[in-house]
Amino acid sequence: MATAKEHITPELLRRITEGDEDAFRRLFDLYRNNLFDYLIGIVKSREVAEELVMDIFLKLWLGREWIADIDHIEAFIKKVAYNKAIDFFRYAARNQKLQRVIAREMAGEADRSLEIQLLEKDYHHIIQEAVRQLSPQRRLVYTLSREKGMTHDEIAKELNLSIHTVSNHTKEALKAIRGFLSRNNIPVTAFLLYTLQK
């Protein structure tokens, strides 16, 4: 991840702390590939590594208020990645379906199995249920942001709200969805379907 280091400035981290999605996308673009390579060396699965990358960046976004206080962002992200990989192995140890999926992928099967598709479908329905449980306005802000691709500024103008209010609704919606997943024993990696891949 050393090639990204020179591009991470205190100004970029400050903008992320303030909720600047473009700045966060820059951080994501700089670290995603190297982080993926690091994780695949641990988990030996492209699909799992990709999901873990998304989970890590979700964690960073949700905790963005303190990201500017991190002295060594590169080392911090790598440490989070290692811990997420360990957490994933612990979860997989309790989930036989997931164990079979990982075993097939590690054996070199290139095609996406029916079981993987069913697993993703299950996650999709669970996340949709989490979104449905949001308050009407929070759900609307979340939908416009994550599914329609609108910026906070565009949403604020569309709904006649302040940018701060839109940002707060988005943050609280993500926390609520993550909490819903946790209560239902679903790894937050499933949330990649609705975050940075949008």
pLDDT tens across the length of the chain (198 residues): 444 555 788 888 888 888 888 888 889 989 988 999 988 888 777 778 888 888 888 888 888 888 878 878 888 888 888 888 888 777 766 666 656 655 665 555 444 444 445 555 566 677 778 888 899 999 898 888 877 778 888 899 989 999 889 888 888 888 888 788 777 766 555 554 444 344
What is the per-residue pLDDT for 160?
Answer: 92
Round to whole Å and give the CA distance between 145 and 128: 15
What is the per-residue pLDDT for 178?
Answer: 78
Report the top-level CATH class of 1-110: mainly alpha
Q: Where are the domains of the chain?
A: 1-110, 112-198
Q: In the CATH hierarchy, which fold is given to the domain comprising 112-198?
A: Arc Repressor Mutant, subunit A (1.10.10)
CB contact burial 76-109 (16+ within 10 A = b; e otherwise): ebbebbeebbeebeeebeeeeebeebbeebeeee
- In order of 74, 119, 192, the CA distances from 80 in angstroms are 10, 25, 16
State the pTM of this model: 0.50
